[in-house]
Chain A
């Protein structure tokens, strides 16, 4: 098998003195879709934020390797340039900056890092128009201030749209399904599915199994109290849907 795209080894992290991640091990190869499921407070979002480099979390032990680089030594922007993308659970509203300007700055930052020429406004626009269709949005959306006044569904579609434009190697979706009605969920899942490919991997973090009906994972991991307690195929998600997390949680506290 090829080298892993992402390799997490014994990752520990804490916030404000509380240990949240207590030894995560996870290996993801290109082309794979992994899902992490777990109850509230199990550390799902912490894992996503730690991978993206949020400074609020302190990594106390472990390593994360991606594309031959120790991710934990990189600034958030360097991680983006290496090819990591985090679709936020709560995308931030930034009045005063259009989605278009923001994305152009992002794309050019990544291109610069890779030693490519920056795109001018015309080339850029050309490139992103087709990506809009991917999430069923029209061009007017580009001129709106970033996420400002967006509905929950629009914000999540915007995250997927950004993902499509930035073309990451590894996309982490942090509860992208939360708060979405079934129509929005389909649009988001469709967008993700069309971005699946041999040279890209996904880590889909979710609380409920429903999203996984639309984004069918290759692997499912159960995260309880900061540890992955079980891994399996997509059928594991269905099992969790039926029986919940109670069995696993009961085992943890003892």
Chain B
């Protein structure tokens, strides 16, 4: 990106900020306004990331620079055409939360009869009313190196979802947050902000589902912060199905207390470009963090996962298992750092990144990194990039499967390893259906492997 476009772009956002700053949720004089101003200053100072930044070497945001995004919150609200939420989940037991253009859409959500101890609502409203839980947590879990985009979100977001689960509560109904768009003639900048707080010893299952319901270009600049207190358990899913012209830049901050467990499954079927900055901080002894990822891309889709896992306390376990399948001209990036603090003894951390290339033009950049400052730890990483194994192909064909069928099966099997780990089977089935469609492999439909 040349300097001119960087500056033009900054000008554009400065104009947006100046127009909006006076009307932000929470007003100008509340506890959060100073945070917003500081975030804005950071964004102005750091500017838009370019490939000169080590963290952005493989992901060019140049295309974005040329697009004059308008803030989605300035669009008039329209009734939501719910048929556009193409069958996201058929599970009727699901608590559904719908976020349209970055704002909670109460009518489309099922929030009227929530189980005891569970609060789900508009983050904007909670901010406005200075909810003490929001005050205690919002903006604290962006990771050690928040991206400029996370700062932009903090400076300008208007709404999103706030979930608070009281101590000791176990919620059996899973929650699905659907993020979608509507009614835009011009490219929109959508900035949902979500805060999830699980108090001690509570349990929850949650999915963030990003669905492209408009065909136009938009930029989803997402920030989600998740705090899981001592002994709490979160089963988390993120399914990204933005439209193929859309951009998603996201920050996911996970923070864990003592003996807490997060199992996160990040499923990425893409948009035009998806960048995910994930930081997980294991801040209490014995915390367990499992991060499974599956990315399946085609055409010219681009996905970049930047993971930062921090072990600050002893006896914690982290596991990253990220797989990617890339066809056509798709480009995948995986960069993962495991950082072990002095004193975080008996850390057990493993990072694996496996990539399957289905075309000669597909590209993967994989960058593992370990930073270890304790001496009694077990940390490993491994990465593979390969094509379909000719021996496996021959093995299947020698049993009667056609070459096409054998290829489909091998690609599906590669992805299925992640799906098999998922406890929320309805989500696995949903993704399986997408894969069958993507692979054009009807013979695999409805398989239980």
Contacts and interface: CB of A to CB of B under 8 A. Distances in A.
Nearest to A165: B399
Given A92-B389, A97-B449, A52 B398 contact: yes
A106 B401 contact: yes
Given A76-B394, A88-B395, A96-B420, A166 B400 contact: yes
Given A101-B447, A101-B449, A106-B400, A96 B413 contact: yes
Contact of B449 (A96, A106, A162): A96
A101 B448 contact: yes
B400 A110 contact: yes
A73 to B, nearest CB: 15
B449 A92 contact: no
A77 B449 contact: no
Interface stretch (B57-65, B143-151, B404-412): B404-412
Nearest to B443: A105
Contact of B397 (A77, A96, A110): A77
A105 B402 CA distance: 10
Contact of A75 (B392, B403, B420): B403
A110 B397 CA distance: 11
Contacts of A77: 397-403, 406
A180 B397 CA distance: 26
B416 interface: yes
B417 A95 contact: yes
A96 B415 contact: yes
Contact of A80 (B392, B397, B417): B397
A113 B400 contact: yes
Contacts of B448: 101
A54 B397 CA distance: 10
Which of B396, B417, B448 has most chain A Cβ within 10 Å? B396
Interface in A37-90: 52-56, 75-77, 79-81, 85-86, 88
A173 B192 CA distance: 61
B391 interface: yes
Contacts of B416: 96-97
A81 B398 CA distance: 9
A107 to B, nearest CB: 8
Interface string A81-121: 10001101001101111100111011101100100000000
B296 to A, nearest CB: 13
B414 interface: yes
A98 B416 CA distance: 10
Contacts of A94: 392, 395-396, 410, 413
Interface string B370-392: 00000000000000000001111
Contact of B401 (A53, A56, A105, A162): A105
A: contact size bracket: 20 to 34
A162 B399 CA distance: 9
Nearest to A80: B400
Contacts of A113: 400
A85 B395 CA distance: 11
Contacts of B410: 94
B398 A86 contact: yes
Interface residues of B toward A: which range?
20 to 34
A191 to B, nearest CB: 17
Contact of B400 (A56, A91, A95, A109): A109
B420 to A, nearest CB: 7
A95 B394 contact: no
Most-contacted residue by chain B among A94, A96, A162 (CB, 10 A): A96
Contacts of B443: 105
Nearest to A113: B400
B397 A91 contact: no
B398 A80 contact: yes
Contacts of A86: 398
A109 B401 contact: yes
A75 B397 contact: yes
Nearest to B397: A76
B408 to A, nearest CB: 10
A110 B402 CA distance: 10
B297 to A, nearest CB: 19
Given A96-B413, A96-B415, A105 B398 contact: no
Contact of B409 (A56, A76, A79, A105): A105
A96 B417 contact: yes
A109 B401 CA distance: 6
Nearest to A86: B398
B395 A53 contact: no
A95 B413 contact: yes
Contacts of B409: 97, 102, 105
Contacts of A54: 394
A143 B417 CA distance: 13
Nearest to B402: A77
Nearest to A106: B399
A21 B399 CA distance: 24
A109 B413 CA distance: 18
Nearest to A95: B417
18 contacts: A76-B397, A77-B399, A77-B400, A80-B399, A81-B400, A86-B398, A88-B395, A92-B395, A94-B395, A96-B412, A96-B420, A97-B416, A101-B447, A101-B449, A105-B409, A106-B396, A106-B399, A106-B401
Interface of A: 52-56, 75-77, 79-81, 85-86, 88, 91-92, 94-98, 101-103, 105-107, 109-110, 113, 162, 166
Given A96-B420, A103-B399, 8 more contacts: A92-B389, A92-B395, A94-B396, A95-B417, A105-B401, A106-B401, A109-B405, A113-B400
* CB-based closest 8 A-B pairs: A96-B413, A109-B400, A96-B416, A80-B400, A106-B399, A76-B397, A92-B395, A97-B413
